[in-house]
Structure 1
Amino acid sequence: MVYRIHFDCADLARTTIAQRPDPLWEVLLGLHVLQGDEEPEVYGPWRERVRGRLTVPERELIALAPPVGYSPDFLTPRAAGEGLEAGLTAVAATPAGQLISELRRLSDSVRLPNWTRRLASGDTGVMTRLVHGLRSFHRTKIAPQLPMISTAIEPAVAQHNSIVANDGFESLIPQLHGSLGWAAPVLSVDMPHVNRDLYLNGRGLRLVPSFFCWKYPMMLLDPTLPPVLVYPVKHDPAPVVVRRPDRDRAVAVLLGRTRAQVLTCISDGACSTSELAARTGISPASASEHARVLHDTGLVTTHRVGSSVRHTLNRVGAEVLAGART
């Protein structure tokens, strides 16, 4: 089975590589991984730790994310590329027609719980609970792994950027994944049980690296949505973050509300100081000062990229957040 993606000149010019994983794609794919037993060396410790710690709203997400087959497109909106909160805002604003159509399609393959009917009917309370579950799963199950995820993703993306800059898009394709092939102007993706064509029609393609996409690249089903191809990045086995709840709660209290907010926003994904200021709603000078303190106390890693700096949650910072939310 082959998924064929048809390019024209405008599509090649508008194809981009995301520099970091998409938070809601990682949530969806993490839910898939959680329900299986694949790649035990990489995901096994994470599964063992997470399965016994799911909250009720997080557990409800499993109904929308079967490990095999279709998952609704509205769970992974394009806005998630702008950060977790932007993505959650987009999920909450999913048009009623899209909700009904996608939940109906999902019900063709799995038995859905009653609350999904209320979701499809526009019950804002159910949508709020769904968004809370997505946010909670990311911040307590995905964010603590960000140091390990960054270690896998950042070198791979840097290499992909270099290949495109030096050798062009065609040379990148075989480096992304073994299931991908290029015969101009068609990008083919070998996928089980999928045989279809997607015409980009000048929209370009967004290539998104993923830690939890473990076997095959993933795409949205709806051809009218902005085209995205999520591809697995190879990574080595690594230990999961060990939480120390009592210590972490105490440290989180000492941070203060604004600084804790800054740390939480950095956990949504690596960002520059100006991006951090926008996420938190504080001035760039204040964001810079809070990020400096978090760096000095060992919760955040800061490194220079060209003329700007980027702030990334490190292992200690992830432990603090995980403990604070226990």
Structure 2
Amino acid sequence: MTLRIHFTIEDLARTRVAQAPRPLLEVGMALWMLRQPACVGRFGTWQREAFKRLLPPVRKLAVQHPWTGETPEFMLTPTGAETPQEALEIVSATPVKQVQTQVTRLANRYPTTLDWTRRLGVARGALRQYNDLLRVIHEQVITPYWPQIDTLVTAERAQHMQRLTEHGVESLFAGLDPRRMRWTPPVLELAYPSQVDVHLGGRGLLLIPTLLGGPFIGVDFFNTDDAEPQRWLSFSVHHAQQFLSPPSPPAPGAPQSLSALLGRTRATVLWAISQHPGCNTTQLARRAGIATASASEHATVLRSAGLTAAARHHNMMLHTLTAAGHSLLSASA
């Protein structure tokens, strides 16, 4: 099955990359993942840690969240809000009729005996209680990782914008999710659960990074600037799993085998980037215990060898590992 997003020239001109993940989109993904059987691989550690962090009553509500395959649109779509407080204020003000329409549609698809879901579309107090659930989940299983998430997303967004500036929209789309996205002008094709064609109608597309999900198409019903709301598409942040694990004590340093291969200082620089992806050159120098000029030189060599990547953010270079760099570190561990 394929999702086909059709672009016009106007759509391409108005397509942009959001500067940060959207709080409630992450909460929606978190609710979905908390209801799944034990995760393996990328998100297994995060899921186990999330259950530990949630208090039993909240954990029970999260697991009993009735809509297995979907989340109400009014919860996901305030894409202009960049803080959970702002997003929840917007959601709290959602017209009851709009909430009722979406809840009824979900209740028809996913029948439930939970009384609070029926009241959600009728009583404003029930919506406030639902907001409290979303707020607590964000605070307990998303917020602890947010500073690292912000660093990673800033670095990755800079890379995407560099691709767009230097190589055009085809390079931008190809870099978002090479395994699942394909640009066949003027259509962006994605693997999807159903066959869907979406025409953007000249309003463009908002690309939103997500830590816990993959490609997902939505509509911002809270965008009132235009007669029709703008579509948005989420995409997975690369190396997100590094920040979805509990903090670990700092490693003693680069493995000896890596130092023997690259030299002690260069191995230390590579190791420091692996431990602090998205760090700038000054931070890298401090963590490697060397001068900034030396850190810049070693980072340039590692980048030329394809072991790291760098993206410019304002007047800084932000450094991350490439797949080759991860493979080398894994092999030498």
Q: TM (normalized to structure 2)? A: 0.65
What are the Cα deviations for residues 166-202 of structure 1, in whole angstroms up to 9, with x where unaligned?
A: 111121112111211222222122112x212221112
Aligned equivalent of 2:145: 145
- Specify whether residues 225 and 169 from structure 1 end up closer, same or farther in structure 2 by C-alpha distance, changes over 3 A only: same
Distance of 2:210 and 2:38 partners within structure 1: 16
1:74-113 → structure 2 map (5 Å cutoff): 74-79=74-79, 81-112=81-112, 113=114
> Based on CA coordinates, which of the two structures has the bigger radius of gyration?
2
In structure 2, the gaps of 5 or more residues are 222-227, 249-311, 317-333
Aligned with 1:226 (options 225, 230, 250): 230
Three-state SS of the structure 2 residue aligned to 1:82 is coil
What is the deviation of 1:65?
6.6
Is residue 58–residue 136 contact of structure 1 (8 Å, CA) maintained in 2?
no
CA contact (8 A) 1:2 1:195 kept: yes
1:215-243 Cα deviation digits (max 9, x unpaired) = x401227896421101112214453148x
Cα distance, 1:134 vs structure 2 = 1.1
Match of 2:182 in 1: 181
Distance change in 2, residues 1:46/1:234 (3 Å): same
For residues 31-46 of structure 1, the aligned pairs below 5 Å read 31-36=31-36, 40-46=40-46
Quote the sequence identity (%): 31
Change (3 A) 1:65 1:14: farther
Q: Alpha-carbon deviation of 1:38?
A: 7.0
Contact 2:210/2:234, CA 8 A, preserved across alignment: yes
Give, as a single letter, the amino acid of the residue that structure 2 aligns with 1:240: P
List per-residue Cα deviations over 1:259-314 (Å, max 9, x = no partner).
xxxxxxxxxxxxxxxxxxxxxxxxxxxxxxxxxxxxxxxxxxxxx96489xxxxxx
1:153 deviates by: 2.5
- Equivalent-residue separation in structure 1 for 2:134 and 2:200 (angstroms): 29
Does the Cα contact within 8 Å between 1:4 and 1:187 map onto a contact in 2?
yes
Contact 1:76 1:87 survives alignment (8 Å): no
For the 8 Å contact 2:17–2:207, the answer to whether it is kept is yes
Q: Please name the residue that 1:200 is paired with.
A: 200
Residues 130 and 57 (structure 1 numbering): CA distance in 2 closer, same or farther, change over 3 Å?
farther
1:191 maps to a residue whose letter is: Y
Question: How many angstroms apart in 2 are the aligned matches of 1:23 and 1:9?
Answer: 30
Contact kept in structure 2, 1:4 and 1:197, CA below 8 Å? yes
Number of paired residues? 242
Contact 1:25–1:76 under 8 Å retained in 2: yes
**19-28 vs 92-101, which moves further:** 92-101
Check if 1:240 corresponds to 2:246: yes
Note if contact 1:2-1:188 (Cα within 8 Å) is conserved in structure 2: yes
Aligned counterparts, 1:1-326, within 5 A: 1-36=1-36, 40-55=40-55, 56-57=57-58, 59-64=60-65, 66-67=67-68, 69-79=69-79, 81-112=81-112, 113-121=114-122, 123-177=123-177, 178-192=179-193, 194-213=194-213, 216-220=214-218, 225-235=229-239, 236-237=241-242, 239-241=245-247, 306=314
Could you tell me which amino acid in structure 2 is paired with residue 43 of structure 1? F
Structure 1: runs of 5 or more not aligned: 243-303, 309-326
1:3 counterpart SS class:
strand
Q: Contact between 1:210 and 1:233, CA under 8 Å: does it hold in 2? A: yes
Q: Partner amino acid for 1:144?
A: P
CA distance in 2, matches of 1:8, 1:230: 20
On the 8 A contact 2:78/2:220 being kept in 1, the answer is no
| Contact 2:31/2:65, CA 8 A, preserved across alignment | no
TM-score for the superposition, normalised by structure 1: 0.66
